Amino acid sequence: MSECLREHPSVFMSDPKEIGYFTLNFKKGLEWYLDFFKDAKSFKEKGEFSATYLYNAEIPNKIMDQLGPVKIICLVRNPIERTISHLKQLNRKNVLKLNSNKFSLKELYDVEEKFPDIINYSLYKEGIMNYQKTFGKENVLILDQSHLKKNSDGVLKILFNFLEIESYNLKTSSQIISKGIVPKYKVLEKIRIKTYDFLYHNNPSMISFIKKMKIGEFYRKINNKESSNSFTLDNECIQYLENKFKEDWKKTLLLTHKVHEV
């Protein structure tokens, strides 16, 4: 979604896309944050992306206090798919110690105890309602990622109407911008993660430079196992997660904007 917005001529998206100001970098001050948008004066809309702003109840008020009544876009994903993606990320960081490519329920319990956010980050309703309370329902757009995959034109029309910008044919609407891997060489992956964390906290603009040079694409080619797509959960795990997420996901879907309303 962030790359779709970046491609639109009326929208300026921060570079790097994840500044993390309202979470990790708030102490650096508003002037530090606004410096990322110094080249945005000629654009009608400007924004940033975050994967974590939804989960802290204090962040909506922080945003309102510092930026005023801005528009909020929330893209939600099927919670089980998001949890599996999170598990794959932890596996890439070599913290899961899996015996096979199929997760057992006991292994899931153990991981949940150590990393509760694999569950917490798949619960959306409370976070969405916090933003609606702070900014008003009319200023918070909730979209289902599956709709973007099935009907990207319809979703983008909703998005452009919400931002009050002209329609535009995008090249990135159906592309996978960043595909995860299971590393072939775990030492290389540890180096990549430590380097990314260092740059994210000290020189985030370098992350954008690395992406532009397509170094990430080269890295994925040389350090990706062929079996990276075989990571699965057993049936007990799936049932456990379905029970965990059922009510929250049901209520979340009631908050999402329906594509057929365009």
* Two structure tokens written together for 229: 């797509």
pLDDT at residue 262, as a whole number:
42
pTM: 0.79
> pLDDT tier at 130 (50, 70, 90 boundaries)?
very high
Please state, rounded to an integer, the average pLDDT across all residues of the chain. 85
pLDDT at residue 191, as a whole number:
81
| pLDDT greater than 70 at residue 174 | no
CATH pick for 2-182+225-261 out of 3.40.50.620, 3.30.750.24, 3.40.50.720, 3.40.50.300? 3.40.50.300
| pLDDT greater than 70 at residue 117 | yes
| pLDDT greater than 80 at residue 121 | yes
State what percent of residues in the chain have pLDDT above 70.
84
pLDDT at residue 214, as a whole number:
74
Q: What is the DSSP string of the chain?
A: -HHHHHHSTTEEE-SSS---TTTTSGGG-HHHHHGGGTT-TT-SEEE---SSGGG-TTHHHHHHHHH-S--EEEEE--HHHHHHHHHHHHHHTT-S--SSSEE-HHHHHHHHHH-THHHHTT--HHHHHHHHHHH-GGGEEEEEHHHHHH-HHHHHHHHHHHHT------SSTT--S------SSHHHHHHHHHHHHHHHHH-THHHHHHHHTTHHHHHHHHS--TTGGG-EE-HHHHHHHHHHHHHHHHHHHHHSPPGGG-
pLDDT at residue 213, as a whole number:
75
Point out the least confidently predicted range of 140-154, 221-235, 239-253: 221-235
pLDDT tens digits for range 56-87: 999 999 999 999 999 999 999 999 999 998 98
- State the distance between the two ends of the chain, measured CA to CA, in whole angstroms: 18
> pLDDT tier at 221 (50, 70, 90 boundaries)?
confident
| pLDDT greater than 70 at residue 181 | no
Q: Mean pLDDT across the stretch 98-106?
A: 76
> pLDDT tier at 177 (50, 70, 90 boundaries)?
very low
Point out the least confidently predicted range of 26-30, 101-105, 136-140, 168-172: 168-172
